[in-house]
Structure 1
Amino acid sequence: MEGLLDKPLNPNKLLKEQFVSNLTGSSLLEIAALSTIVPAVVVLRKWSSGDNIRKDSVKKNDDAPRGQKDWVHYFSSLAADYLTVVLPILLIFTVLAEWAYICAFSLVIVISICTIYKRSQFHLKAHQHNLPSLRTDISSYRVSVILMTCLSILAVDFKIFPRRYAKAETYGSGMMDLGVGSFVVANALVSREARSITAMRWKASLRSISPLVFLGFARLISTSGVDYQVHVGEYGVHWNFFFTLAAISILTSIIRIHPKYCGVVGLLVLAGYQVWLSFGLNEYLISNERSADIISQNKEGVYSIFGYWGMYFIGVSLGYHVFFDTSPKFKSRSTQVVKVWVLAASFWILTIILDGYVERVSRRMCNFAYVMLVFGQNFQVISILTLAGYISYDKNLILEDAFNQNMLGSFLLANILTGLVNLSVDTLAASSLTAFIILSVYTSMLCMIVGLAQFCGVRMKFW
């Protein structure tokens, strides 16, 4: 009995921490290729499911009760979405990782052919239908962010997941480095500020922030309690993702700025922070130096707040000007789409310039180059998703609606499932087949549980 009690819950903790340490990330070109694959798969699924959705919606089945018919249709559609969207992405990020460029190029060719082939059909339908709002594409984009995040947080613990996709130690960027930044941008683009909704009062603001603070402490206590592996260089000794979100919310509540001016303020914050980094703060943040005080113990998480705060302000400004501006000259979808594509290209160019001549991309300190990379990658995803609206006039996929309704809830569930897998399976010793089976079961469970929550009307919203 004593032997069982003395046995650590996570005997491979040190090995697992070393497995995700001292990494240098991927190339900007490969990040661009991977950022093409995910939205391209979603677009093709939307195009292929468009006619089926319409047929199913008008098809009658008088033999089955209404509730049963809805239930069967919902979960069969959800399963089809999983098989045609999630599973291919899982394959490309694991088994087919070395074929990423070929997969991206092939998908671009397929989408280009489909667009040209269906263009005449679009012109015929355009007179009968209004083009869908770009806000539908924003929903798809937000789901792409959360899907990739949920998939990666478990996949990274297996050898089947390429190390270059994992988070870089200091400078450089893997796909996973873009997760927290993408989450901040995804929320900023559709935030209350971006939609010009009257700012919440202090009590309401505190209520909206308190769950994030609670989740931050809950993660800290739970990871310490079960001796779960935590890479200190990511945020610090005690800091985590939820504390970063809470800090941004607090700063935004204290300093309230009209969305028209958020972009300028965000750029000023980033410029000032980058100057501070260049004058020695960067060396301190990437060093192993830590004193006993709480700020030094969590220096990465604390100081990177300035970068994420500037990122959030810019995201609010872009959301307001690109997606929620009601001015007639900006209201047409074509104008919005052109702005998205131009912004995507501009952010990528700025990333290359800053990475080459100012300071290399670093998620650890959330520097200027990293912020531009996050915006470049995210707007690239949005720009590809805008193609769906030119051919398909249907609603989002059921999978998208399910995750969009419970974004943070699905992320919490993914973290719980990831923790359970890590504590019950030796992920480092798992073969490629075993790892892929586990990841397939994990992602299917996640999709089905999130789908069930959406079907039953359950919604968790914290931020």
Structure 2
Amino acid sequence: MDTPVKSLNPNKHLKEQFVSNLNGSSMLELFSLTAVLSIVVLLQRAFGFNSQTGADSAEALSKKDDNDNGFLRTKNFTKYIAMLSLDFLYIVVPFILYTTVLADWTYINTTTVALLLLFCILAGRFGSFFQEDGVQSLRQNISSYRVSLMLLTCLCILAVDFKIFPRRYAKTETYGTSLMDLGVGSFVLANSLVSRQARGISTLKISNSLCSASPLIFLGFARLISTSSVDYQVHVGEYGVHWNFFFTLAGVAILTSIINVPPSYCGILGLLILLDKRGADLISQNKEGIFSIFGYWSLYLVGVQLGNFLFFENHANSSLRTNKWARIRVWVLSLSFWLLAYILDRHVERVSRRMCNLAYVTLVLAQNLQVLGIIMLSDYIPRHKLSALEEAFDQNLLASFLLANVLTGLVNLSVDTLFVSSVSALAILQVYAFVLSLAVGFAKFYGIKFKFW
């Protein structure tokens, strides 16, 4: 008789059960939660102490020396950290609360913040009714959208390990809609919308692609080693036995560089890949991860087409369109994709992150364009400069995500997250998020920038 294989982690199976057999939430709740988190960013600009001078103050507090190789020389580091801390209170703390202790009141939360934002706009409390900075406004809104998704992703990857995080927001087993199901797709789409291909710039050479993908491959192996134990063959993960999120990102980057597709054909090719039947035979233990690469690649290609259509004038010019031109089109596309995702989920095939099917892709597109569309309403708020925190994360998006994974691993090694009280879990999440924000802010202040994607 074979000896039962024992795990190096006594609570490993408990954690597997904690994140298994989940069905997600409804599309309506997902729509509402996405709306409330996006509006929080706008309210920060309306009520935030440094919202009017967030970007300008950061520039004023720092001076770039022509002889210091791009590093910033501080005039008042303490004031910069104070601004960063205020932004943390206005943006990150509500993010944590709305996805944990206030999650059961999502619809009430959405209605409240929406009415508050509407009141601010109609009352004209902050000056003129409408202001727009054209290209500069659109550039800031795109950055704010990307940062908002990254912040939410960084918070959720740790919060999901605690009981305070609703199970309906955690990743589903195979079919279903949840907040964390959208993480991988949103990351891929956010990069494709402003990629070199979307701007009409020729694709990277394979050598450069391998250089940009190598950190992702390294993180993939690191994640594999850190999560594996002597019984790893017993449990099949969401992408298979050995596959994980970082391998998927690396595969998409390499595929995009090997196959040079013009922006005008990206959307068509992406839809063809999605509609094509993928093999169902068990060719490897990682069939889910391998085959889903083509789904995520198709999402990337669709994102390239949308980015080129919405934000850039033509294939030969990487200049941005104005925010006014793109705003209506973003909203029309978002609502159209929400309707299409609902129809596909109900009448064709359930949304599946694991397979990255057509229903999943349309849901990712709908949710991301909704976030972008709400943030584009910032032109109705005169003080719509990027906050210091948003600027900091925008400079090192992928690096901040990698750091968040490292910090998440440290927390899981130090704390048994399954048996932590709600108060302690909330405190841990706040400290984790604050340390991450300080680290990213420190890198921004001293001009440290990491480029992976």
Is the shorter-chain TM-score for this pair beyond 0.5, marking a shared fold?
Answer: yes
* Equivalent residue letter for 1:236: G
Structure with the larger helix share: 1
CA drift of 1:118 comes to: 2.2
1:428 lines up with 2:418 in the alignment? yes
Q: How does 1:329-408 map to 2 (within 5 A)?
A: 331-408=321-398
Residue segments in structure 1 that go unaligned for 5+ positions in a row: 1-6, 285-289
* Equivalent residue letter for 1:260: S
CA–CA separation in structure 2 for the residues paired with 1:316 and 1:459: 24
Query: What's the secondary structure of 2:418's corresponding residue?
Result: coil
CA–CA separation in structure 1 for the residues paired with 2:241 and 2:295: 19
Give the 3 Å change call, closer, same or farther, for CA 199–67 of structure 1 in structure 2: closer
CA drift of 1:72 comes to: 2.0
CA–CA separation in structure 1 for the residues paired with 2:226 and 2:219: 10
Question: How many aligned positions are there?
Answer: 434
The corresponding residue for 1:81 is: 87
User: Are 1:10 and 1:423, in contact at CA under 8 Å, matched by a contact in 2?
Assistant: no
* Equivalent residue letter for 2:360: Y
The corresponding residue for 2:305 is: 317
* Equivalent residue letter for 2:339: I
User: Are 2:160 and 2:170, in contact at CA under 8 Å, matched by a contact in 1?
Assistant: yes
| Equivalent position to 1:300, from 268, 284, 288 | 288
Query: What's the secondary structure of 1:233's corresponding residue?
Result: coil
The corresponding residue for 1:41 is: 40
Query: What's the secondary structure of 1:263's corresponding residue?
Result: helix
Q: How does 1:44-193 map to 2 (within 5 A)?
A: 44-49=43-48, 53-54=52-53, 57=57, 69-118=75-124, 121-122=127-128, 132-193=136-197
* Equivalent residue letter for 1:185: L
CA–CA separation in structure 2 for the residues paired with 1:91 and 1:228: 34
CA drift of 1:201 comes to: 2.4
Query: What's the secondary structure of 1:140's corresponding residue?
Result: helix
Deviation by residue 1:152-184 (Cα, 9 ceiling, x = unmatched):
111111111100000011111110000000000
CA drift of 1:151 comes to: 0.7
Query: What's the secondary structure of 1:325's corresponding residue?
Result: strand
CA–CA separation in structure 2 for the residues paired with 1:436 and 1:75: 22
Give the 3 Å change call, closer, same or farther, for CA 459–155 of structure 1 in structure 2: same
* Equivalent residue letter for 2:14: L
Identical columns (%): 56
CA–CA separation in structure 2 for the residues paired with 1:33 and 1:58: 33
User: Are 2:134 and 2:323, in contact at CA under 8 Å, matched by a contact in 1?
Assistant: no
1:245 lines up with 2:249 in the alignment? yes
CA–CA separation in structure 1 for the residues paired with 2:126 and 2:100: 38
CA drift of 1:199 comes to: 2.1
What is the aligned-residue RMSD (CA, Å)?
2.8
CA–CA separation in structure 2 for the residues paired with 1:224 and 1:265: 37
CA–CA separation in structure 1 for the residues paired with 2:159 and 2:382: 32
User: Are 2:138 and 2:322, in contact at CA under 8 Å, matched by a contact in 1?
Assistant: no
* Equivalent residue letter for 2:250: A
The corresponding residue for 2:449 is: 459
CA drift of 1:121 comes to: 3.5
User: Are 1:13 and 1:229, in contact at CA under 8 Å, matched by a contact in 2?
Assistant: no
Between 1:180-189 and 1:205-214, the stretch displaced more is 205-214
Give the 3 Å change call, closer, same or farther, for CA 233–52 of structure 1 in structure 2: closer
The corresponding residue for 2:66 is: none
Give the 3 Å change call, closer, same or farther, for CA 351–130 of structure 1 in structure 2: closer
CA–CA separation in structure 1 for the residues paired with 2:198 and 2:111: 35
Between 1:438-447 and 1:387-396, the stretch displaced more is 387-396
CA drift of 1:324 comes to: 1.6
CA–CA separation in structure 2 for the residues paired with 1:20 and 1:309: 26
* Equivalent residue letter for 1:387: L
TM-score by length of structure 1 reads: 0.87
TM-score by length of structure 2 reads: 0.89
Give the 3 Å change call, closer, same or farther, for CA 125–321 of structure 1 in structure 2: closer
Deviation by residue 1:201-236 (Cα, 9 ceiling, x = unmatched):
232222222222222122222333799999733111
* Equivalent residue letter for 1:430: V
| Equivalent position to 1:201, from 201, 205, 215 | 205
